[in-house]
Amino acid sequence: MSICFSSRVFNLHSAKNQSFVTRFSSQFINQIHVSSIPYALPSSSLNLSELLKHSRQKKLNPITASTTPSVETLSQSSFRNKKPKDINVLVVGSTGYIGKFVVKELVDRGFNVIGVAREKSGIRGQNSKEETLNQLKGANVCFSDVTNLDALDKSLRNLKVPIDVVVSCLASRTGGVKDSWKIDYEATKNSLVAGKNNGASHFVLLSAICVQKPLLEFQRAKLKFEAELMTEAEEDNGFTYSIVRPTAFFKSLGGQVELVRDGKPYVMFGDGKLCACKPISEPDLASFIADCVLSEDKINQVLPIGGPGTALTPLEQGEILFRLLGKEPKFLKVPIGIMDFAIGVLDFLVKIFPSMEDAAEYGKIGRYYAAESMLVLDAETGEYSAEQTPSYGKDTLEEFFERVLREGMAGQELGEQTIF
Ligand SMILES: NC(=O)c1ccc[n+]([C@@H]2O[C@H](COP(=O)([O-])OP(=O)(O)OC[C@H]3O[C@@H](n4cnc5c(N)ncnc54)[C@H](OP(=O)(O)O)[C@@H]3O)[C@@H](O)[C@H]2O)c1
């Protein structure tokens, strides 16, 4: 295992959903550091004039506790009766891995999309304003600060159009303790409050299936927001939500493809069957999230969702890869105890150096995704269940591996700390 000390940061490379294994693999075998690769962007324009035509007054309703929407609620959600072109959808986290695809999907479906973005967006702020506009082609882009409620509220008011639906794809880019609470809870809450202040009556939240078993700080932050979102819908009869909890993304599973192609073994923990997931592609997940804008059967629902096909363990993912390469399978099985040892060391060090709390958290994230499945957790048996995890979409992991073998991992970069 490669644990790297730099002048200020103790950096245990880890990753969500087996991508820890990727980093582990690349460092264990090669002792190389994989950094993010900037990606190319298409062209676009900014146009709010269409939106100005569609302003409306939205009256918020009295408090009535209800978990399932009443007929009254649905009829009050007047945006549901409008055509997509007349529905204003605000997307926060619009510049992320999933957010970009959500914007594209909503634009393709004809909604009026307003993407909220930072002036420097993307991993480590690599994209300029111009590049962000190009990236969110077809959407109106509102440059603002989701971490500042007043600033966000003001920006939305300045648009001079009412918001109908907020879609949040916000997520901490580091997975660090403070940043998780700042983004996965506070900034997402700001988007709810500012969205509602500006007329929104439906909130679609991109969450994660792993919050079912919350052992990590970002999971606790997400769960707190989920709970408050549900309370909001109980107390405000005119307000609804859809919480989307996906399984693993392709980017989290593709990191070993090029290494294996280059002759390295496929690295996995234990016997390679400690965990399983139903990987989902960005376009398929974006399509599911876009469905949540109007589908009445997704109102006030928590929606676990995976990609097509059966659940796959790391061992099965490795076997797919070797089959595609026409190579004899070569696995490196790493005892899970090595992670426990590393976490123990980090937990000890963090008591002496509190500034290392994020490094310790990254270790725990790595351990979590090495051993916990990204599947529905059966409340009765306490076991993960592939059968109970719904499938959606058409893109398979095998096709994704084929593409990475052909074209590389461009566009599939992990976040700032190569965690998510
Ligand atoms: N990886 C997986 O396998 C997996 C599986 C299931 C669920 N999930 C969940 O899916 C969600 C989205 O993941 P993703 O990979 O699409 O995330 P991502 O690529 O890291 O995108 C994060 C988004 O949040 C924004 N953001 C982060 N920090 C910000 C800040 N300080 N101020 C303003 N905006 C900020 C980013 O804006 P900038 O571009 O300006 O940074 C970006 O738009 C996460 O909640 C994750 O837990 C992931």
The 10s digit of each residue's pLDDT in 347-374 is 999 899 999 999 999 999 999 999 999 9
pTM, rounded to two decimals: 0.85
Examine the pLDDT at 41 and tell me if it is beyond 60.
Answer: no
CA distances from 368 to 204, 269, 280, 342, 420 (A): 26, 11, 19, 13, 13
Rounded distance between C-alpha atoms, residue 282 and residue 105, angstroms: 10
For residue 93, report the distance from its CA to the centre of ligand 1, in Å: 6
Between strands 376-377 and 384-385, the pairing is antiparallel
Do 72 and 136 lie in a common domain? yes
Do 60 and 108 lie in a common domain? yes
Beta-bridge partners for 241: 203
Q: What is the mean pLDDT of residues 53-81?
A: 48
Confidence of residue 256 (pLDDT cuts 50, 70, 90): very high
Do 7 and 145 lie in a common domain? no
Rounded distance between C-alpha atoms, residue 248 and residue 373, angstroms: 9
Token pair for residue 173? Answer: 């880019």
Q: What's the pLDDT score for residue 74?
A: 52
Mutate which of 36, 39, 97, 174 to test ligand 1's pocket (most atoms within 8 Å of Cβ)? 97
Domain-terminating residue out of 205, 231, 246: 246
Do 274 and 240 lie in a common domain? no
For the chain, the domain total comes to 2
Between strands 88-92 and 376-377, the pairing is unpaired
Do 61 and 209 lie in a common domain? yes
Please check whether residue 298 lies inside any domain of the structure. Answer: no
Q: What is the mean pLDDT of residues 117-130?
A: 96
Confidence of residue 420 (pLDDT cuts 50, 70, 90): low
Do 163 and 92 lie in a common domain? yes
Ligand 1 is surrounded, with C-beta below 6 A, by 16-17, 93-99, 118, 121-122, 146-147, 169-173, 183, 206, 208, 246, 248-249, 252, 415, 420
Q: What's the pLDDT score for residue 73?
A: 52
